[in-house]
Structure 1
């Protein structure tokens, strides 16, 4: 069975200036980044499908991305794969004092009871200390701008909540949702597209906040809603003896209800 060392050896061969692969040789951090994003989404798809064999394969693809970036860095003299490993182990030791009170891998906890609320509080304190060490003094400074919009919105909200900028109960979020719906209605009535776009963004942002207050991940629940819609729409196509584009709105609505019932019965 091949090991991580074998994967790193393969990567070095692919990047060998004389005998390597032409495609791999011309890659950079920037050119690989889109592939990394694609591989991560494919891993998420595999996880959501529950196919463990596919998960195994996609994990390998993601691991290869890490090895590829590390090889590029080693060639440039920036850092090594070992330094990548050392950095993540050191960070996790630092962020888990409840498991490694002395900050050393070979000295784990003595089995004392762990309070989850205290763990979360200390986790945020440690992350704040790390941001300060990087001269990132703002509460929101280290939240990546490249995150998917729903995920970034939820992270921004969660971080702001750590300093008390949040509703105390979910009822406050519903009140804000009603307010934003009214403002969007006014923007639609005005015919101002820029204003409509702004208010639509505000409304979505509040919906994400609602998900957060309910303990849900907005990105995950929307992905689930997408899959549900896709399954129902495909069921409509199977139920109809005509192209859906040829049907009236009333017929489409009837098919939609039939599709919902069919899928519910199948469950």
Structure 2
């Protein structure tokens, strides 16, 4: 049984027998696996309309399968919740290894929160598109002018692209914490470092023509795949090594 002093002056000591740490690891692992499941399920939903289409074309695409787009948004919101729980759980594990004053675990948590927030901003623009094109909105005269749909689609795309800097910082934090403390297997630290580098290279892709599938765009796609692989691998590692200290989590 591990007895630690309280965080505040005069506070009673905190008794931790490892059960709480094991529970948080298992919760984080379950959240990460759910995140992957929600993402796979989103493959079977309609994609967001292309910003290159005319406003009336975008509106017709949305109204043709409104329920599909709403389900896609619902999966996205569930994935946001799962990601935030996963983020908190991994941060808890990294902090246990690095200590309360550790910078890398803090960077992982802060950048991960920014990553999730920017994703939700993108989803907010998607909600605006879907709701504005709804049949009842058209009938009541509350629908947007068709010329407003392409700008909303562009904002949806670029808000999503803005997650890349946060992703770079998040994986730098994960790499530093894992490699310094071995709170997770060391190879997960190197995989996080590789993901950060690939995402950093893809940052220059914002200057590419969106209609062209250049090398930097491919780097962004690879970085996104590495992100998913890291979440899956970290979830499995947490599941298998739940509650175990850094010295045995190799």
- Greater relative contact order (CA < 8 Å, ≥ 6 in sequence): 2
TM-score under structure 2 normalisation?
0.26
TM-score under structure 1 normalisation?
0.25
